[in-house]
Structure 1
Amino acid sequence: MEYAKRYGTAAAVAVAALAMAVAGCGPTPSAEGDKPSTTLGIPPVPSGPADATATAPATTGVTAGRNDPAPQEVLVEVVVNGGFAGVTNKLVVHYDGTYTLRSGTKPAKEGRMTAAGAAALRAALEDPAYAKVPARPTGAPAADGFSFYITHAYRLVVTQDGENRPPALQRVLDALPGGGPPTSP
């Protein structure tokens, strides 16, 4: 009440609304319409180690503190853009070597790498030299060239045609299914 006298009623209302929003105490809209719901819309907080595994969200990359990723977790994602034909392709490879290739609006193609091929790709991505590859292109782009966006373990590396690629990056690109990034339209 003292705050309202000093700064005005509108300021007091704004501060109270901000406090409720920050604390998550306001009502959340329900699916039924304008009636506010009595739930806060906040997921439950794990109370201990048993709850932590039961409520952990699914991930698509390497999970912190875990050495054995699930076979269907994403190992690497490669997006290719550009070229004379204006290609937009996306390759997703999982730890078990299965992969999905999406090329423009065509139906997705699925496949599986050999065990040796998947191991070579994992080794190239986990090579300490790959961790030192610059995250952004270092050279001038080639006219009508391709841009490659490689995501592994929450790290994005961008490269393009015309760039002098570090050997560690080239090993990753060469180890992809099909012998390289998907550049066909």
Structure 2
Amino acid sequence: MEHVKRYGVAALLAAVVALAGCSQAPAADPDDSGLSVPPAPSGSPVATATVTAGNRDEPAPQEVLVEVVVNGGFAGVRNKLVVRYDGTYTLHKGTRPPTSGRLTEAGTAELRAALEDPAYAKVPARPTGSPVPDGFTYYVTHAHRLVVAQDGEARPAALERVFKALPEGHPPTAP
């Protein structure tokens, strides 16, 4: 463990590659922030790998920006809307085949701004009131944070802004 602390991940990976029988191993560089493993010799069972340390500034276009699940109502709906960072979305309604579409660039920017608004970060994670009989419950997941809201209670303006920026201007409540 002391070697990992002293020399970093690059040294550890070099040792693993060397032990796996690869003739070329990357040099250990304690200041290296990323690392790459050279290609394995042909016929070698050792796979080529590239590992990058650190965080990306921008998510990949196909990563999920927000997921909204709606349950309840008179018809007992269970709908799920998944919007990706590039504005493409998929809507699952009950057992029907999913449908898909794409928000405009402006619509995608509006949704991202609503989700990244500091006021949205302050929206309570759980409802505080009693559920309405046959009302909807909304589960909104963004950046590993789940917010649950339900009909029958006043929703914070920041959550309403997110709802209005969704495709069709509201969560998917139709069966």
TM-score by length of 1: 0.67
Distance 2:51 2:153 in 1: 44
Task: Quote how far apart the aligned CAs of 1:161 are.
Answer: 0.6
Task: Give CA-to-partner distance per residue, 1:111-156, whole Å, 9 cap, x none.
Answer: 0001111100000000000000000002221110000000000000
What corresponds to 1:121 in structure 2? 111
Contact 1:139 1:164 in 2 (8 A): no
Distance 1:51 1:183 in 2: 48
Distance 1:152 1:137 in 2: 17
SS in 1 for 2:61: coil
Question: Aligned AA for 1:180?
Answer: H
2:76 matches 1:86: yes
Query: Unaligned stretches of 5+ in structure 1?
Result: 1-46, 57-63
2:134 matches 1:144: yes
Contact 2:35 2:51 in 1 (8 A): no
Question: Aligned AA for 2:152?
Answer: G
Distance 2:154 2:69 in 1: 19
Task: Give CA-to-partner distance per residue, 1:43-78, whole Å, 9 cap, x none.
Answer: xxxx8612498247xxxxxxx832211111100000
Runs of 4+ in 1 over 3 A off after TM superposition: none
Q: 1:163-178 maps to which residues of 2 (within 5 A)?
A: 163-178=153-168
How many pairs were matched up?
132
Percent identity, aligned pairs only? 68
Taking a change above 3 Å as real, the CA distance of residues 156 and 51 of structure 1, as seen in their structure-2 partners, is farther
Question: Aligned AA for 1:110?
Answer: S
Distance 1:50 1:163 in 2: 51
TM-score by length of 2: 0.71
Distance 1:87 1:103 in 2: 8
SS in 2 for 1:80: strand
What corresponds to 2:58 in structure 1? 68
Contact 1:95 1:118 in 2 (8 A): yes
Q: 1:27-106 maps to which residues of 2 (within 5 A)?
A: 49-51=34-36, 54-55=50-51, 65-106=55-96
Taking a change above 3 Å as real, the CA distance of residues 142 and 51 of structure 1, as seen in their structure-2 partners, is farther
Q: Which of 146, 160, 166 does residue 156 from structure 1 map onto?
A: 146
SS in 2 for 1:88: strand
Query: Unaligned stretches of 5+ in structure 2?
Result: 1-27, 38-48
Distance 2:123 2:136 in 1: 18
Contact 2:77 2:173 in 1 (8 A): yes
SS in 2 for 1:116: helix
